[in-house]
Structure 1
């Protein structure tokens, strides 16, 4: 990932609407993974819409500093 928040936002702006896998640290030794679609970017955060097993739509948001400090990691699905 790029080294500044502005560069991270620009990269994510280019990938809106694509499928994404997010791995986030959720505590001491716990990591959560979310599959979804990058839906919107705002000046301080970005939003990912999730599909869970029951078919309900949910969403999570992360700040660009989470990516910069490596609290989360993002991988885009090229196959979908």
Structure 2
């Protein structure tokens, strides 16, 4: 349990360095459905991080994820400027 807690803390520390960066988000919505969106990592909190999604036809919205979503590969973040996958943990 302690090892997992340290991994989640490391993921948070890694994401702290990317706040304000534009990323491509690939998230598993359900069993076989994934969606891809672009947005900016707006803020990191102790248990979650927030991405501001900007879509053309809709008003801007914010989506939050747990750090465990990255740990379990339910969410993958890629930096838009150089197509580099963000390695966390």
**For residues 35-66 of structure 1, what are the alpha-carbon distances to aligned partners after superposition, in whole Å with 9 as ceiling and x for unaligned?**
10000000000000011112511010000000
CA drift of 1:34 comes to 1.4
**Match for residue 36 of structure 1?**
39
Pick from 44, 62, 68: which aligns with 2:71?
A: 68
Quote the RMSD (CA, aligned, Å): 1.4
Matched length: 77
Matched, 1:78 2:75: no
Where do 5+ consecutive residues of structure 1 fail to align? none
Matched, 1:46 2:45: no
Where do 5+ consecutive residues of structure 2 fail to align? 1-5, 83-89
Matched, 1:9 2:23: no
CA drift of 1:76 comes to 1.0
**Where does structure 1 differ by over 3 angstroms across 4 or more consecutive aligned residues?**
none
* Partner Cα distance (1:76, 1:50) in 2: 14
More strand per residue: 1 or 2? 1
In the superposition, the TM-score normalised over structure 1's length comes to: 0.89
In the superposition, the TM-score normalised over structure 2's length comes to: 0.80
